[in-house]
Amino acid sequence: MRHITTNDTPAPAIRGIADHSWQARGQCRGLPTKDINKLFFHAARDRAAINEAKSICGRCPVKKACFDYALDNEIRHGMWGGLTEAERRPWHRKVAKRLDYSRVKAAFEGRDIHLSDAEREAVTRHAYVRDWSPERLAHTLRLDLDWARDLMRNAAHAVADRDRYWDQADDETEPVDDETAEAEDVATPVQVPRQVQTNSLIAALRKAA
């Protein structure tokens, strides 16, 4: 059982799926139920209501948290995060592939984040290279231990395949001197770099882990 505690620490930017505390800071907080239904659960073609609702959302300090909440909880009706049902539809379709490293970092910090498949894979791979135990991964992602072990095995295979590929690429890339390249009219080969990650991001993930 989880308990809600209060302290003077500033609220984190990333919220968990079961955390509703951000709603207290919403710009729409305190509006009469009648107005909320009219503005945020408006008729499809009621442009006046849509524009007024968007105006309220535009100055809301928790607009992104509201948007994420709708995606995480599969709420497709109404306006959330300043977007109508139709405007959010493409986001709902691709939510399983969302990869937000701020959410990955938040998961490492122990927050209850509803991660997408891509975000869970990023957490698992980073946990693997940091030599986490399956038990620690299961606790972080709130998974069954057997599932966590399967994810760790998949991460091990993925990392091994990646390293094997790059080792082969290094072996196959042979230096070509200027004379040979000019004689054979070929360009000097350029190795394709690995996926770029900023130093600040890597440092943040390591600190969180």
Model confidence pLDDT, tens digit, residues 74-102: 888 999 999 999 999 988 888 777 888 88
Check whether residue 198 and residue 105 sit in a common domain: yes
pTM over 0.75: no
Check whether residue 202 and residue 122 sit in a common domain: yes
The reply to whether 136 falls in a domain is yes
pLDDT reported for residue 39: 92
Which residues contact residue 77 at a Cβ distance below 8 angstroms, ignoring those fewer than 6 apart?
A: 41, 85
Band (pLDDT 50/70/90 cuts) for residue 56 is very high
Band (pLDDT 50/70/90 cuts) for residue 50 is very high
Check whether residue 85 and residue 105 sit in a common domain: no
CB 76 within 8 A of CB 88: yes
Check whether residue 81 and residue 110 sit in a common domain: no
Q: Which amino acid is at 141?
A: L
Check whether residue 89 and residue 116 sit in a common domain: no
pLDDT reported for residue 83: 93
The reply to whether 47 falls in a domain is yes
The reply to whether 1 falls in a domain is no
The reply to whether 112 falls in a domain is yes
Which of 42, 67, 93 is a domain's end point? Answer: 93
- Helix crossing, 63-72 with 47-58: angle to 10°? 120
Q: Which amino acid is at 7?
A: N
Check whether residue 160 and residue 88 sit in a common domain: no
Neighbours of 153 (CB within 10 A): 13
pLDDT reported for residue 120: 86
How far is 38 from 31, CA to CA, in rounded Å? 11
Which of 93, 122, 141 is a domain's end point? Answer: 93
Check whether residue 72 and residue 47 sit in a common domain: yes
Check whether residue 105 and residue 159 sit in a common domain: yes
Check whether residue 120 and residue 138 sit in a common domain: yes
Question: 84 in the Ramachandran plot: left (φ > 0), alpha (ψ -120 to 50) or beta?
Answer: beta
pLDDT reported for residue 7: 41
Radius of gyration of the chain (CA): 24
Q: Is 60 helix (H, G, I), strand (E, B) or coil?
A: coil
How far is 108 from 180, CA to CA, in rounded Å? 51
pLDDT digits (tens, 9 = 90+) for 95-153: 777 888 888 888 888 777 778 888 888 889 888 988 999 999 988 888 889 988 999 99
Q: Looking up tokens 């991460």, which residue turns up?
A: 155
Which of 65, 93, 121 is a domain's end point? Answer: 93
The reply to whether 133 falls in a domain is yes
Check whether residue 133 and residue 72 sit in a common domain: no
CB 190 within 8 A of CB 91: no
The reply to whether 165 falls in a domain is yes
Angle, CA 187 vertex, CA 183 and CA 189 arms, to 5°: 125
Q: Is 83 helix (H, G, I), strand (E, B) or coil?
A: strand
The reply to whether 8 falls in a domain is no
Check whether residue 73 and residue 42 sit in a common domain: yes
* Total domains in the fold of the chain: 2
Band (pLDDT 50/70/90 cuts) for residue 58 is very high
* pLDDT reading at 1 higher than 70: no
The reply to whether 11 falls in a domain is no
Check whether residue 155 and residue 200 sit in a common domain: yes
Residue 137 is part of which domain span? 101-208
Band (pLDDT 50/70/90 cuts) for residue 195 is very low
